[in-house]
Amino acid sequence: MKTSGVTFALALIGFAAMLAIIVGSRLSDQAATMLAGAACGAGVAGPLAIVIGMTLGAQRSGRDRPPAPSQPPIVVMTPPAAAPAPSAPLATWSSLPALSQPMTAPRQYTILGEETVIDGTSSVWQQDI
């Protein structure tokens, strides 16, 4: 069984060689040079196409796979270093004025580039913050 395949392959190679010799003897030098260049180009393009196809196939199969589950980032928090005691006491939250009281005057907003302002005045150049 194996010898018939080898015999067929050798016969095919022999036929191609005889055909090349017969056709090559009838061609001009320029035509033979062009034919040799085309054969070399085809010989280079075949393996190159296989490599490009394998690369693209690997990229596509990588895209089709679901992404691996990502782990949450690990955050390490260290306690602050003990600072030396200051000579003057710092302000504490209890010593700050209370912010729970409402502001005395409402804020006025101005939209630049419009003819009227939200507070009802028509002056564009007035800017109260």
Q: Residue 53 domain-assigned?
A: yes
Q: Residue 34 domain-assigned?
A: yes
- Rank 26-30, 72-76, 100-104, 113-117 by mean pLDDT and report only the highest: 26-30
Q: Residue 38 domain-assigned?
A: yes
DSSP-derived letter for residue 113 is T
**pLDDT (mean) for 2-24:** 90
The reported pTM is: 0.34
Q: Is the pLDDT of residue 53 over 60?
A: yes
Domain of 39, in residue numbers: 2-64
Query: What is the total count of domains within the chain?
Result: 1
Residue 27 CA to residue 33 CA, distance in Å, equals 10
- Tell the residue number behind the tokens 């069984």, with chain if given: 1
Q: Residue 110 domain-assigned?
A: no
Q: Residue 37 domain-assigned?
A: yes
Q: Residue 14 domain-assigned?
A: yes
Average model confidence (pLDDT) across the chain: 76
DSSP 64-86: HSPPPPPPPPP----PPPPPPPP
Residue 91 CA to residue 97 CA, distance in Å, equals 11
Q: Residue 12 domain-assigned?
A: yes
26-37 per-position pLDDT tens digit: 988 898 899 889
Cβ atoms within 10 A of the Cβ of 124, count?
14
Nearest to 127 by CA among 103, 105, 108: 108
Q: Residue 27 domain-assigned?
A: yes
